[in-house]
Structure 1
């Protein structure tokens, strides 16, 4: 069974960067995407911690972006070509919510990255999440919308308790 989460990670990253776009320019867009991808990767690895979990989601699919589009008012598929919107079926609502929590709460992001230290996902591969856990000034400026706690709140709150449970923490960490 396939255990690759790349479709889910790519689609959920794309959804986040569409819903919370960069502040402008190609460099800002690249920095925003890098931060979103790191947050989504951490969230996906937490959500699907075993090869069996990853294999099951690759067979069943994650559920799509419908509820997220409605919640955030993001551009949802309308009259557009169905084939061009197919990526939305690979968006994972829980992963998007967890990624929003990580982006809006730096201490929680650090806890999540630490929790992945022994993950099978990172085995044999050097992994770094610097842009997620300690973004620089350019990162912060580029992803102002993507990291704004008030803007992220409706999305982050959807599955926040489950994230805290997964991280085995009983308190909300402050950024």
Structure 2
């Protein structure tokens, strides 16, 4: 099974979590633009976190861990109805991928370095994607994802696993500015 297929549930759930935790403005276009940015950040983060087909298949087999701690940090667990808290999609959220995606959404230099680092993964030839909405967002993209790209709002999530992302990229803290 190709890695991009193995990671699909993880990427969909993590994207869904990010767009629910940091919603776009009103309107279908703004929601779509914010979701596209979140999806690109999550895709890059997931491909870096699970760089080989075997890595992707292993996480698909064992599961990524769920959104419990992320919900607690953002306070989302306090606003969940009991049946919503038990949604199956939440168990497919990957905390590290969400954290790395938050780093990429809030730090353009990290986003560019991460996209460049994809060349060393087995996913490099999976799909020709430019990740433009992540690395070079237009004004409409930024407006649509104002909460999703706000460094102060995402800091509690981004800071969880930022050192791991920097290590993965072979980067230092200079890229985080």
TM-score, length-normalised on structure 2?
Answer: 0.92
Report the counterpart of residue 139 of structure 1 in structure 2. Answer: 141
Instruction: Calculate the aligned-residue CA RMSD, in Å.
Output: 1.7
Q: How many angstroms apart in 2 are the aligned matches of 1:52 and 1:117?
A: 17
Corresponding position of 1:12 = 14
User: 1:101 and 1:134 mapped to 2: Cα distance?
Assistant: 15
In the TM superposition, what is the alpha-carbon distance from 1:57 to its structure 2 partner? Answer: 0.1
- The answer for the alignment partner of 1:44 in structure 2 is 46
Q: Give 1 or 2: higher helix fraction.
A: 2
Q: Which runs of 4+ in 1 moved over 4 A?
A: none
For 2:75 and 2:85, how far apart are their aligned partners in 1? 19
Is the Cα–Cα contact under 8 Å of residues 47 and 95 in structure 1 kept in the other structure? yes
Q: How far apart, CA to CA, are the structure 2 residues paired with 1:115 and 1:163?
A: 11
Which segments of 5 or more consecutive residues in structure 1 lack a partner in the other structure?
none
Match of 1:79 among 82, 88, 91: 82
User: Aligned partners of 1:33, 1:53: CA distance in 2, in Å?
Assistant: 25
In 2, Cα distance between the equivalents of 1:41 and 1:79?
Answer: 29
Q: Deviations over 1:87-119 (max 9, x none)?
A: 000000000000000000011100000001242
Q: 1:63 aligns with which of 62, 65, 72?
A: 65
Q: What is the rounded CA distance, in whole Å, between the counterparts of 2:85 and 2:137 in structure 1?
A: 36
- After TM superposition, give the deviation of residue 72 of structure 1 in Å: 0.6
1:170, distance to aligned residue in structure 2 (A): 2.0
